[in-house]
Amino acid sequence: MARRRAKAKRRTNFSKRLVIMAKSPVLGGVKRRLGREIGEVAALRFYRSCLTHAVLRLASDPRWRCMLAIAPDRDVAAGFWPPRGRIARLPQGEGDLGRRMQRLFRRLPPGPVIVVGSDIPAIYPHHVADAFRRLGNADAVLGPAPDGGYWLVGLKRVPKLLAPFAGVRWSGPHALADTLANLDGKRVAFAATLSDVDTAEDFRAARAAGSRLIFRATPSRQVPAPARSRTGG
């Protein structure tokens, strides 16, 4: 019996893990560039919907263990997230996007890890499953975005943890190229190309092509009503 429990624990420790990076959905605290163009309330509604449906689509899939990496750290225990029984939560920590992602890859138990954003309207489980499949024959997997960035990054983390984020120019057209430069000599696979939504033009394009679920204005019990950001940003 003890041996069976030990084997089960090892299988759990080496499970595939999917991390959804999420910001607290408060007015003025998310999608600020989009908010300047379409209004803060509309941008918040969009982000809340994307976040909710990312969790609904991805968290219950038995092919991986899913968790939310939350910023700011103080909101990990906030009541507007899905219950911990449905999806685990952990803080992102301090630093730029690269430092926060590297920390997530470093702190999780052994096994392949994929990190995705929470503002990708077209993301579905088959995109993640395909990325994990590609990672099986590679050291890293990246999901390109049309703007020169990427919406997904995954690392096998064996025989050692790679560090692909040093010096990456985030929020611009160089993020993917900089990351690939850091992975020179490693086996890199590419997942599907998907878009996040940062501008009014992105929003209109996603709305024209996207699911009605993403843009429905129905309130969610798992995210807060619009409130002013506590970050002051």
- Domain membership of residue 138 (yes or no) is yes
Shortest CA distance to 25 belongs to which of 55, 1, 3?
Answer: 55
- Domain membership of residue 197 (yes or no) is yes
d(CA 91, CA 24): 11
- Domain membership of residue 220 (yes or no) is no
Contact predicate 222/52, CB 8 Å:
yes
pTM of the model: 0.84
Shortest CA distance to 50 belongs to which of 207, 226, 230?
Answer: 207
Domain ranges, residue 62: 2-215
d(CA 156, CA 25): 30
- The count of domains in the chain is 1
Residue 218, class by beta-carbon neighbours within 10 Å (0-12 exposed, 13-18 middle, 19+ buried)? exposed
**DSSP string over 40-61:** HHHHHHHHHHHHHHHHHHHTT-
Contact predicate 128/106, CB 8 Å:
no
- For the domain that residue 143 is a member of, what is the CATH number? 3.90.550.10
- Domain membership of residue 201 (yes or no) is yes
* Distance spanning both ends of the chain, measured CA to CA: 54
- Domain membership of residue 151 (yes or no) is yes
Cβ partners under 8 Å of residue 180, min gap 6: 142, 188
- Domain membership of residue 73 (yes or no) is yes
Reading the chain (233 residues) residue by residue, the pLDDT tens digits are 555 554 544 555 578 999 999 999 999 889 999 999 999 999 999 999 999 999 999 999 999 999 999 999 999 998 888 887 789 999 999 999 999 999 999 999 999 999 999 999 999 999 999 999 999 999 999 999 999 999 999 999 999 999 999 999 998 899 999 999 999 999 999 999 999 888 899 888 888 875 544 444 333 334 433 333 333 33
